[in-house]
Amino acid sequence: MTGSPRLLDGKRCGDALKTEIATQAAAVKAVRGRAPHLAAVLVGNDGASKTYVEAKVKACGSVGFRSSLIRLPETITEDELLARVRSLNADPELDGFIVQLPLPAHIDADRILQAIDPKKDVDGFHPQNVGNMVLGLPGFLPATPSGICELLKFYHIETAGKHCVVVGRSNIVGTPISILLSRNAYPGNCTVTLAHSRTKDLPSITRQADILVVAIGKPGFITGDVVKEGAVVVDVGIHRIPDASKKSGFRLEGDVDHPSVRGRCSAITPVPGGVGPMTITSLLMNTLKAAR
């Protein structure tokens, strides 16, 4: 490719969607007498998780939602956390809530996610919401895959008939985005290949991708030599790389090696400012939906 790729700017897209969310939140408040209310549960002291949860809570304020940040100690037992989930399920003042992942190793995350009331599961992680997504039935879509779809829509990226390669099969991103992009919808109607750690000759697969979604959790994993000329690249990764030249002591990098990929692709999501802000916007969209 000659020239720079188009930047799929998640901040710009997210801000546009947030303006609409704020209008609708005000309408909900006028009818019900209270604003949509999201709670976020954060267990332990992981720095990255704390940053993400605080960003989610701050975003609520920007669209006129009420928010609650519930911080719980690393030492909480699974039963104690289950009891908190049940009390949030029963709280009539709360429209939706999330439990930030990962949870400490002594807690079975599946058990916690399955205890969340599907009607308040604005992360879309409960099996009932996952099943509805697979079947194309109404429910909450998981925030990151849904945010990627909104971003593709905002930039009018053509998807029908394209070969989409998803790298990474997590429950949060890889598996659901592979399902959403293969559905008979827009964005969708892709032919999807879901690649993972046991995929043989991954470069031969990624080089076939018209749309490449990378959610493998390894900084700089996808380099320019494995990307098809003109591909649309969605970088879901976000890693803190120690960097003494930064005031914070770290810089943020994705799963894609942007310097080498930029010259080959036609469009790419930046890191930061690409998928991250879209995840938060989708969470707000789900919370608005729950409030209605």
Place of tokens 């399920």: 89
* Segment interacting with ligand GUN, rule: CB under 6 A, options 23-31, 95-103, 130-138, 254-262: 95-103
| 25/287 Cα distance (integer angstroms) | 10
Do residues 284 and 21 make contact, with C-beta atoms less than 8 angstroms apart? yes
Residues 9-38 that bind ligand GUN (CB under 6 A): none
Is-catalytic flag, 56?
yes
Q: Determine, following the binding rule CB under 6 A, whether residue 101 of this chain makes contact with ligand GUN.
A: yes
Q: Identify whether 15 is a catalytic site residue.
A: no
98 binds ligand GUN (CB under 6 A): yes
- Reported as half-sphere exposure (CB side, CA atoms, 13 A), residue 55 has a value of 16
**Least spacing, CB of residue 271 vs ligand GUN, in Å:** 15
Phi, psi for residue 218 in degrees, rounded to 5:
-130, 120
Which residue, 9 or 123, is less far from ligand GUN as judged by CB?
Answer: 123
Does 286 participate in binding ligand GUN (rule CB under 6 A)? no
Q: Segment contacting ligand GUN (CB under 6 A): 12-20, 22-30, 96-104, 156-164?
A: 96-104
From the list 18, 100, 120, 235, the catalytic residue is 100
Q: Which of 8, 143, 238, 285 binds ligand GUN (CB under 6 A)?
A: 143
Nearer to ligand GUN, 5 or 96 (CB): 96
The three-state secondary structure class of 37 is strand
- Nearest of 233, 236, 66 to residue 147 by alpha carbon: 236
User: CA-to-CA distance for 176 and 234, rounded, in angstroms?
Assistant: 15
Nearer to ligand GUN, 81 or 202 (CB): 81
Q: Which of 56, 120, 162, 228 is catalytic?
A: 56
Cα–Cα dist 257/104, whole Å: 30
User: Segment near ligand GUN (CB under 6 A), from 94-102, 147-155, 204-212, 265-273?
Assistant: 94-102
User: Minimal distance in Å, beta carbon 40 to ligand GUN?
Assistant: 8
Task: Count the residues in the chain.
Answer: 292
Total residues interacting with ligand GUN, rule: CB under 6 A: 9
d(CA 172, CA 194): 14
Cβ 229 to ligand GUN shortest distance, Å = 31
Give CA separation, 98 vs 103, 160, 174, 211, 274, in Å. 12, 33, 19, 30, 22
Q: For tokens 């019900």, what's the residue?
A: 32
Three-class DSSP labels, 111-132:
HHHHHCCHHHECCCCCHHHHHH
Could you give the CA distance from residue 197 to residue 216 in angstroms, rounded to a whole number?
9
Nearer to ligand GUN, 72 or 101 (CB): 101
Q: Which of 67, 144, 159, 281 binds ligand GUN (CB under 6 A)?
A: 144
Residue 123 known to be catalytic? yes
Residue ranges in 104-123 that form contacts with ligand GUN under rule CB under 6 A = 123
Active-site amino acid positions: 56, 100, 123
Q: Which residues bind ligand GUN (CB under 6 A)?
A: 98-101, 123, 143-144, 172, 279
